[in-house]
Structure 1
Amino acid sequence: MTSSVVDAEAVDLRAVRERVDAALEDFLTEKARAAACRGYPPEVVQTLRDFLAAGGKRIRALLCVVGWHAAGGHGDAAQAVRVAASLELFVAFALIHDDIMDDSASRRGRPAVHRVVSARLGEGARAERLGAGGALLVGNLALVWAQELLHTARLEPGREGSVHGWYDAMLEEVMYGQYLDVMGTGRGADDVEAALRIVRHKTAAATIERPLQLGAAVAGAGGAVMDAFTRLGLPLGEAFQLRDDLLDVFGSPDGVGAPGLSDLREGKRTVLLALGLRMADPVQRERLGRLVGRADLQEREAAEIRGILRATGARKETERMIASRYTHVLSVLDEAGFPPAADRALRGLAARATQYTS
């Protein structure tokens, strides 16, 4: 294996992930050392460390480095790896804040960060309020440190402006998407296009398109590569979120990912639920309206919702939407002419992002 974690036949995605995780660990180790020297509370860094260690596919980081390869990056991928690590801290920020706004109990099989911080303070409304505030600040630090990692990537002269421009665009899109999500919950619940609009802003660009473009910008790519990443990135990002919504409600067939209640209790404005309401008959629509969004929703009622989503064809239609987007991505890759190793990696990541895995 070479230092660029690529050879003539394949991009070594496992090696990419290991390098990204090592970059994050080195960075947080230094932050813990600095916190100790300055008398800062040590649990802040540890909370982020625990959050990052809890799992996650690292798909944004992998796409960033694959984007670098696809754009002709060669030699040591250290700059792309550092930008990729920055993306993982940005994701931590976004998910921590998302869980606060949704009042989610867990993330990746562990208590959500605001629940972890609250538990340190005891029980009751005051502990919950302070825990949410503390988690908000931990998330803010994750964003600040994401920017620090980006600014210390030692990019090639003349490429900083492009890389930071794509990064800034991603930040703005996610904030607007999150705002649309928060303000739209419970409104126009059967509006499929509105639900897709939230997906495009909040998830699709930041999950697939922008990470690819950031890696390409590190390599000094031109407009043709960036356009190709938009053509494949947005539909793949939509498919990724559609699959995630199905996983949350139905779980995965292999049993590793159990069905959840969070989206149903929140009344999250997903494409799946919008389709269910649009395709439901009056009786089914009344039941969905009565059950979805109940904070005290139990598994028995959730099973009824799942049954309605199957009976209306909403689940099947969501699967069709995923498949059509995946097919489109493959057609873009057929035309793009990326280097063979990068092309194979992109096809593998596209399959991973759209299949049933927890």
Structure 2
Amino acid sequence: MFTPSRRPQAGTTTTPAIRSSPLDAEDLRGRVRSEIERFLAAQTEVLAEVSDDCAPLVRYVADLMSGGKRLRPAFCYWAWRAAGAPNGPAVLAAATALEFLQAAALVHDDIMDASDTRRGAPSMHRRFAALHTANRWDSDAEQFGMSAAVLAGDLCLTWSDALFSGSGLPPAALARGRGVFDRMRIQLMGGQYLDLVDQAGAGRDRRGALERARRVAHFKSAKYTVEHPLLLGGHLAGAGSGVLERFSAFGLPLGEAFQLRDDLLGVFGDPARTGKPAGDDLREGKRTALIALTVERATDVQKKVLQALLGDRSLPAADIDVLREVIADTGAPVAVERMIDELVERARTALDTTDLEAAGHAVLLALAEAATDRSL
């Protein structure tokens, strides 16, 4: 059975700021967590004016946001630093706004995928359904759960904008970053919709399966996870066009490599690390690059197995193992690993040609390795 590889950490660039993980450089992960807690404490008071019944909205969001790698704030913050701007609480708040955008995306994604868990705990709509059941309220618990989760996701989107706008950065800096911030959110929704369209089969006649899968990854993950956070940090810092172009050249291939790693973990990953049941991507029938390559390489017999099992939400664990074996036997996972290596190398080369502040440059390179190895 295929096991996702653990890519070796690059040893050519070091900095005293990096300890066990590049996300812990300058205690960024802890500082982001503190900023989230500070902001949500204030929002608790705002919603208390509506009713004490609103308390679960904040509590459940806080629970969801207590975990996570803080990858998007890290790329934003270290792009700011690499562009030569100083450390400070205002940029940290602006970068933390991306965590609320991520929370909104996770809540809504779990509704669309009918996922039961997230980060090893019940997903947002399941938590609200359980609240309904525990209180023996009227109407349907599942419908209540989904409706309340939609509102929680919408709140996260609103809070993302509020935190960004109220970060304390100068108006000129916020104005430079606003275009990237808005484009990132808009294209994330477009990429998510494209994913739904392709899962429904509506786009399959317009382009090849692998091309479609990579396009979804481009807008749903690559830009939103890496490129746009980098560009946001660069614009906020007032970076020149040359630096911004290199951030894009670094971020796009790295973001795609990140998604390809996610595709592998969605099929072969350890639930203790991923926070989701093993095989959920197969039950959902996600048309990833891994699946596209599998179908492309499959024998007629293997294709029949894929057609019979892929996308069956009630698929038992034994059939998940059958699908994993088919995928592994086609050699598609090995091909995806090669793609990841090539994309990471392209990203590193792009960033190495840029004159950036040394510590920021080093942490960005370390993040590239860690993000695609998932050793964060």
TM (norm. structure 1) is: 0.92
1:154 to partner: Cα distance: 2.0
- Structure 1: tracts of 5 or more residues without a match: 1-7
Pair 356,38 (structure 1): closer, same or farther in 2 beyond 3 Å: closer
Query: Residues of 2 paired with 1:217 and 1:256: CA distance?
Result: 34
Pair 255,122 (structure 1): closer, same or farther in 2 beyond 3 Å: closer
Q: Secondary structure at the match of 1:158?
A: helix
1:263 to partner: Cα distance: 0.6
Q: State which of 17, 20, 40 in structure 2 corresponds to 1:10.
A: 17
1:220 to partner: Cα distance: 1.1
Q: What's 1:245 paired with?
A: 263
Pairing 1:193-342 to 2, within 5 Å after superposition: 193-252=211-270, 256-257=273-274, 260-342=278-360
Pair 272,259 (structure 1): closer, same or farther in 2 beyond 3 Å: farther
Q: What is the Cα-based RMSD across aligned positions, in Å?
A: 2.0
Matched, 1:121 2:132: yes
| Amino acid corresponding to residue 110 of structure 1 in structure 2 | A
Q: What's 1:156 paired with?
A: 170
Matched, 1:46 2:53: no
Pair 281,13 (structure 1): closer, same or farther in 2 beyond 3 Å: closer
Q: What's 1:103 paired with?
A: 114
**Residue deviations 1:258-283, cap 9 Å, x none?**
87121101101111111101110111
- Structure 2: tracts of 5 or more residues without a match: 1-14
1:330 to partner: Cα distance: 1.3
**Residue deviations 1:203-245, cap 9 Å, x none?**
1101001111111122111211111111010110000011011
Pairing 1:36-75 to 2, within 5 Å after superposition: 36-40=48-52, 41-53=54-66, 55-74=67-86
Q: Secondary structure at the match of 1:73?
A: coil
Is the 8 Å Cα contact of residues 227 and 252 (structure 2) preserved in structure 1? yes
Matched, 1:90 2:101: yes
TM (norm. structure 2) is: 0.88
| Amino acid corresponding to residue 315 of structure 1 in structure 2 | P
Query: Residues of 2 paired with 1:58 and 1:265: CA distance?
Result: 28
Q: State, as a whole percentage, how many aligned pairs show the same letter.
A: 38
Is the 8 Å Cα contact of residues 247 and 356 (structure 1) preserved in structure 2? no
| Amino acid corresponding to residue 46 of structure 1 in structure 2 | R
1:38 to partner: Cα distance: 3.8
1:10 to partner: Cα distance: 2.9
